[in-house]
Amino acid sequence: MEAENTTTHGQNEDFLLPKTKSRKRKQPDMDTSEITDPVTKRPHFKPLKAIVGSGSKSEIRRIPVPPHRYTPLQKEWLKIFTPLVENLKLNVRFVAKKRQVEIKAGKETLEIGALQRAEDFVKAFILGFDVEDALALLRLDHLYLESFDVTDVKPLKGDHLARAIGRLAGKNGKTKFTIENVTTTRIVLADSKIHILGSYQNIQIARRAICNLILGSAPSKVYGQMRTVAQRAASRF
């Protein structure tokens, strides 16, 4: 028995478990000698000129001119031409054969958004706004143009459409002038088209009042609602 115990004890000492290889990949040692300060300086680039930022040196904006705006454009051409050329440094011309105004950025044009602002200015005049009112689009950045049709609000035809347009204008233009003064906007009624020039918030107030008049609300009620909304908007700012 003692001999058997000694043999088994000797076998247990010689028995070893097989070693398993780890399947994880060993990461190579990183060389930190070339790592510099993580805080790097931001690169400074010169501002792009309009002729480069537009993406194309030959970019031209073309605004078609309807026949009934030829005479006003001819009379006010100097007032339209001067701010675009002297202030925005743009190239402007009227092509009589194509019946359109062409605006192009020149080498001296510095402002990237000059081309778009000039297009909005000329377009506002073509739609029927006075030059003095349209010039605000060049001086101020928060002004926009919005256009819609009376039939977009309510499908009217014939005499019903004419009466709706008359309600918007009012006697001697009183209704239109009241909406303009309260909302600090400018409105043009061109047949069934309505064009509004002003800030985004004021355009929404004026448009809501115009839509209520088209839908048949009494002018006195519309005036009261419009003044209340305008006072609330003014108090916020």
- What residue ranges do the domains of the chain occupy? 48-141, 142-237
Could you report the per-residue pLDDT of 137-163, keeping only the tens digit for each?
998 888 999 999 999 999 989 999 999
Q: Which helix (H) or strand (E) holds 119?
A: helix 114-127
What pLDDT does residue 208 have? 93
What pLDDT does residue 34 have? 54
Place of tokens 């918030």: 201
What pLDDT does residue 82 have? 92
Structure tokens at 156: 């009217």
Quick one: pLDDT band at residue 227, thresholds 50, 70, 90? confident
The residue ranking higher by pLDDT, 110 or 197, is: 197
> Which class in CATH covers the domain with range 48-141?
alpha beta
Q: Closest Cα partner for 122 from 110, 114, 131, 113?
A: 131
What value does the mean pLDDT take over residues 199-228? 90
What pLDDT does residue 36 have? 54
Residue 196's alpha-carbon distances to 104, 146, 203, in angstroms, are 26, 5, 7
Q: What is the pTM of this model?
A: 0.71
Is 142-237 in the same CATH topology as 48-141? yes
What value does the mean pLDDT take over residues 102-114? 85
> What are 105's strand-pairing partners?
90
Contact between 83 and 63 (Cβ < 8 Å): no
Could you report the per-residue pLDDT of 57-105, keeping only the tens digit for each?
558 899 999 999 999 999 999 999 999 999 888 999 999 899 999 999 8
Quick one: pLDDT band at residue 24, thresholds 50, 70, 90? low
Quick one: pLDDT band at residue 218, thresholds 50, 70, 90? confident
Q: Could you tell me which CATH number the domain at 142-237 has?
A: 3.30.1370.10
